[in-house]
Chain A
């Protein structure tokens, strides 16, 4: 076997065993809480991956995928944008508000405009942390995190105040007219055009951007160190801002697509409280090795787990906190897998060197 084959085999085995271990832990927790673990896990998988519910898993995975594709661009440059959650909210509120204003415009023109504008809104929201990092050198992790709180309070203000639907009992905008809805792709399901956009259009585009363009290479060089980037003649200030804007754009677009495709209005619960898209997307991007194709697969998997946990909660009465625990454990065990992977790969390479000598 070639080294590459062996390394990939090790990776695959480790990923599977990490997920397996996470589930063993969850089984123990479910048993401790006095529920039947077999039944609970059955509903978890049924809710996430049974054929009839696969379209719903794709729907759930779509905002997750858009967010994490964008983050993979920033993370390649080691720019840690943790602000996707806020950028998603800003994209969502802009899409809903604008859709209500331009509802007279024919949908083939209006929908692309709405999607792009929600992306731009998310990008602009990422601009201040980008400038703070690129020019002042302030850690973007904290600024983007704080911007999440500002965004959510701001959107909450808008939904309780000026943009609230006057007849609704909840803080939410008026439902947008149905010519502003993203069309359904498969009749009888909620599989909307946004799913196609995320999985079949944006995933290849991002893959191409990262793996086949000069920009992708420059981002990766910046990620290996600002000094290296300087020697390579890369303007790090410009690259940092581009990386932040691209990831903000994708997160904003995720919010816009969720509003136009599923919610049809902006509400505070646009991102599930137990596993917010903006934060879960961080894990997805890293678990997918910042490779858009693997990220698409990981989004689908975690989307299934998210839907499955809801089913498990409804059918067996396992408290909703369990969803968060399962996801956290999967992330931690996969991180542990990374650690073992490095050791094993060293051993494989070391072993081959010995053979050569």
Chain B
């Protein structure tokens, strides 16, 4: 059995992109005190919208834009229900995810008819990595860190930006304050609802983009419920990372290493490791790490609590 390590690291960096994108967006939202389980649905909506855009317009840039926009609309609905109307965030999130599964599978069949097999509708081209020419010729690391999709670099830059925003700026202080106690933040003149709306809309766009990677990046088609809980994994990684953006990069990378290893095991066709158990590995890894490192992790105090402004 031979597994080449640099190939594994390369696929891990590539695979971590959607969970890191969704994770950093969710991290900022959670720091402001909102738990958005709907990030899973926003990714699914993004995957679907990107595929439809690419299929009908043949333009991947436009498709990515449509994905971000649809994710944003989806999260805007979540924001109206949970921020303005202060409905239970968890139930709303779960119901929104049910809605996303329903809408995407309904529209997919409404567009392509009932019988989509044997060859499901697919697109000819998928997203291309950035060509950095000579840089990727660099010894050892050249091949590992260059030659990824632009989304990968965007995700890492976004995570670093998120860290800077949260820990070094006045806006970050305000976000953290409303995550601990929105009422106190409000009485200090911080506009809690506006900030939460902004963060949720940004999360929708980023999660939509993360979802688009699945349908027009890694695959060239849309499948029912193709996100397979990646949004939930992103939320788990936020906990693992203790709501710290820099640790989130590490958490996403290690999670994706296991995922890459799992895919490699399946590709090698090792008969003594059944594919279902291989698929289980990344989830098992997350739980084991939570068990090992999870002691005394404390999130934002007001997380997932509905906040109604007193007039």
Q: Does B101 contact A (CB under 8 A)?
A: yes
Residues of chain B with a CB closer than 8 A to A338's CB: 87
CB closest residue in chain A, given B37: A141
Contact B91 A283 (CB under 8 A): yes
Contact A331 B102 (CB under 8 A): no
Contact A157 B297 (CB under 8 A): no
Q: Does A45 contact B (CB under 8 A)?
A: no
Contact B232 A319 (CB under 8 A): no
Given contacts A82-B94, A321-B101, contact A336 B87 (CB under 8 A): yes
User: A122-169: which have CB < 8 Å to B?
Assistant: 128, 132, 136-139, 141-143, 145-150, 153-154, 156-157, 160-161
Contact B99 A319 (CB under 8 A): no
Residues of chain A with a CB closer than 8 A to B86's CB: 339
Q: Does B295 contact A (CB under 8 A)?
A: yes
Sample of 5 further A-B pairs with CB below 8 A, known A319-B110, A321-B108, A328-B102: A136-B296, A146-B229, A161-B274, A324-B99, A325-B106
Interface residues of B toward A: which range? 35 or more
Chain A residues near B (Cβ < 8 Å): 29, 33, 80, 82, 128, 132, 136-139, 141-143, 145-150, 153-154, 156-157, 160-161, 274-275, 279, 282-283, 286, 317, 319-329, 331-332, 335-336, 338-339
28 residue pairs bridging A and B, Cβ less than 8 Å apart: A33-B106, A82-B90, A137-B296, A137-B298, A141-B235, A143-B290, A146-B286, A147-B287, A274-B105, A283-B94, A286-B88, A286-B91, A319-B109, A319-B110, A321-B101, A321-B103, A321-B105, A321-B106, A324-B98, A324-B102, A325-B99, A326-B102, A327-B98, A331-B91, A331-B98, A335-B88, A335-B92, A336-B85
Residues of chain A with a CB closer than 8 A to B115's CB: none
Q: What CA separation (Å) do A338 and B306 show in the bound complex?
A: 13
Q: Does B81 contact A (CB under 8 A)?
A: yes
Residues of chain A with a CB closer than 8 A to B277's CB: 153-154, 157
Q: What CA separation (Å) do A321 and B105 show in the bound complex?
A: 5
Contact B283 A150 (CB under 8 A): yes
Residues of chain B with a CB closer than 8 A to A321's CB: 101-109
Given contacts A139-B299, A319-B114, A321-B103, contact A153 B95 (CB under 8 A): no
Contact pattern, B 231-257, Cβ under 8 Å of A = 1, otherwise 0: 011011001000000000000000000
User: B21-56: which have CB < 8 Å to A?
Assistant: 35, 37
Residues of chain B with a CB closer than 8 A to A80's CB: 90
Residues of chain A with a CB closer than 8 A to B106's CB: 29, 33, 319, 321-322, 324-325
CB closest residue in chain B, given A129: B287
Residues of chain B with a CB closer than 8 A to A327's CB: 98, 102
Residues of chain A with a CB closer than 8 A to B229's CB: 145-146, 148-149
Residues of chain B with a CB closer than 8 A to A33's CB: 106, 110
Given contacts A146-B236, A319-B114, A320-B105, contact A132 B291 (CB under 8 A): yes
